[in-house]
Chains A and B, each alone.
Chain A
Amino acid sequence: MDTNEPIISLRGVTKIFNTKESEVDALIDINLDIFQSEIYGIIGQSGAGKSTLVRCMNFLERPTEGSVIFDGQNLADLSLKELLKVRQAIGMIFQQFNLLMQRTVLKNVCYPLEIAGVPKKEAKQRAIELLEMVGLSDKINAYPSQLSGGQKQRVAIARAIATRPKVLLCDEATSALDPMTTRSILELLKDINQRFGITIVIITHEMDVIETICDKVAILENGRIVEMGKVEDVFVNPKSAAGKRLVFKSDEQFSEFESEKVYRIVFDGQSAFEPIISNMVAKFKAPVNILFANTKNIGGKAFGQMLIQLPEDRILTKQMLRYLEERSIKYEEVTQDA
């Protein structure tokens, strides 16, 4: 397949729900391309339309307008039978795991293989392999109710990729899990992505999830995509209000500082992860007050932002800012209407 062809392509997708009294625009003119082997994050607050959007990708929800192209096929043109076949090529996991409660772990993973018509013996073998991969080979005969949330999601992942789908859709897959378990599930997803080249679409309301594993991100607000791009670009320099709100969660806190000398410095991966601030303090022998910091080491580069208060002395301040410039670190003065 041509790698320049997106695996999922949404064009002008609009979804309107008709309720008794009114029409609700859940999605408005969504255009989105997701390429093979990408991990694509879609973030937004609850009610932004994320879940509807991801359900349009496998036609669990039919868009009111617009088209969804999966692997070169327009889903709207398919017969029901063909659509069922396409769905077997798109795995999906959920916030509430949605395992079959009356089936054992093994039988749960066998389920999509049964539907795909894989012979029983072969299906069982494949299921056992998958459960080994997700680290649950000792639980194959357990029932879902006997598992923890993280274990349930592992079973759900094994089930979702059993038929070797091209895409895995994750609908708030970590939202019901604690931070530690979230991390391990995200690692598993990353591992699956790298090992099998499976494209992953992640729906979440947590910026952490996006930062941890996504390559690209789209920000959804009130049914519209307000911003999209590479995660590092959006993270360093969010353009939309919604993007800023997600990235700089603490804007409200630092807008309280009235000093003119508060600067936001941004690490955008250009600089190595070196202790810039403490080097600067050592050089100028002047105090720097760190009001806020949120930096991350992604692949040895520094990403994130910091809010610092520089000394009253104007000349000193200028020198310090020049010091930052020399190290190609972007900064901006924080004004009250941040």
Chain B
Amino acid sequence: MLDAQTLSMIGKGIIETLYMVIVSTVCAYAIGLPIGLILVVTDKNGIRPFPIVSKVLGFIVNLLRSVPFVILMISVTPLTKKIVGTTLGTSATIVPLVIASAPYIARLVESSIKEVDAGIIEAARAMGTGTFRLIYKVLIPEAKPSLIIGGAIAITTILGYSAMSGFIGGGGLGDIAVRYGYYRSETQILLVTVAVLIIIVQGFQELGMRLAKRSDKRV
């Protein structure tokens, strides 16, 4: 069986992972949500068409999205060092996590907002709603259930990325799995970390679905 030391290491890993994932998700939403909204609003069929903005932004998003996370993680190390001061540990992992997931979140937000019935938007415009109020009084509230589901998808994706960062000393459960499971072939520890990851992913997924369902008033 696992000894107390291993268990406490796994416990620490869980906390580190949750810290990385939650902080990264919050930061990534701070960047991705506005980008997603701008993509929808400035689209050529959007509320305030500005095709140049939406095309340039869309191109940057696609560019970042096409770089595999492992490579992105390595390529941004100089930036990470500048921001955090080190390239090792959980805080350092947050930088590539945010850079990789913000564009992903922008696309998730974009697709959620695009689900809002065009008729509702038209009615709001007919009532004299300006662009800004249309966004926060109509688009976001009407897309809320879909945005919450998007959030659950984003958080589980970021969790997956965070585990990958174990290969460059990122900390958390991924780091444990790499060091013990991969380099030392300690299968038992590997299996435990996998089980814990599955439980965390399922937890976030379930929570997201329930929140989305409860917030949705469309029956």
B126 close to A114 (CB less than 8 A): no
B120 close to A101 (CB less than 8 A): yes
A99 close to B218 (CB less than 8 A): no
A102 close to B122 (CB less than 8 A): no
**Cβ-based interface call for A229 (8 A):** no
How many A-B residue pairs have C-beta atoms within 8 angstroms? Tell me: 80
A102 close to B217 (CB less than 8 A): yes
A145 close to B217 (CB less than 8 A): yes
**Cβ-based interface call for B114 (8 A):** no
Looking at chain B's contact residues, the main secondary structure is helix
Residue of A nearest to B117 (CB): A98
Contacts of A61-105 to chain B: CB distance below 8 A? 80-81, 84-88, 90-92, 94, 96, 98-104
Question: What B residues does A88 contact at CB under 8 A?
Answer: 127-128
A100 close to B138 (CB less than 8 A): yes
**Cβ-based interface call for B133 (8 A):** yes
Please judge, given known A-B contacts A94-B123, A145-B219, whether A102 and B129 are in contact too, CB under 8 Å. Answer: no
Q: How many Å lie between the Cα of A114 and that of B141 in the bound state? A: 15
Question: What B residues does A104 contact at CB under 8 A?
Answer: 217
Please judge, given known A-B contacts A102-B142, A145-B219, A146-B219, whether A94 and B119 are in contact too, CB under 8 Å. Answer: yes
Residue of B nearest to A104 (CB): B217
Contacts of A251-274 to chain B: CB distance below 8 A? none
B128 close to A92 (CB less than 8 A): no
**Cβ-based interface call for A115 (8 A):** yes
Q: How many Å lie between the Cα of A23 and that of B211 in the bound state? A: 47
Q: How many Å lie between the Cα of A99 and that of B127 in the bound state? A: 12
User: Interface 1/0s, chain A 18-56, versus B by CB < 8 A?
Assistant: 000000000000000000000000000000000000000
Please judge, given known A-B contacts A96-B119, A100-B120, whether A112 and B137 are in contact too, CB under 8 Å. Answer: no
**Cβ-based interface call for A60 (8 A):** yes
Partner pick for B142 among A85, A96, A101, A116, CB 8 A cutoff: A101
Given A92-B123, A94-B123, 18 other A-B contacts at CB below 8 A? A60-B122, A60-B126, A80-B130, A84-B128, A84-B129, A87-B125, A94-B122, A98-B122, A100-B124, A100-B138, A104-B217, A111-B124, A114-B137, A115-B129, A115-B133, A116-B128, A143-B219, A159-B127
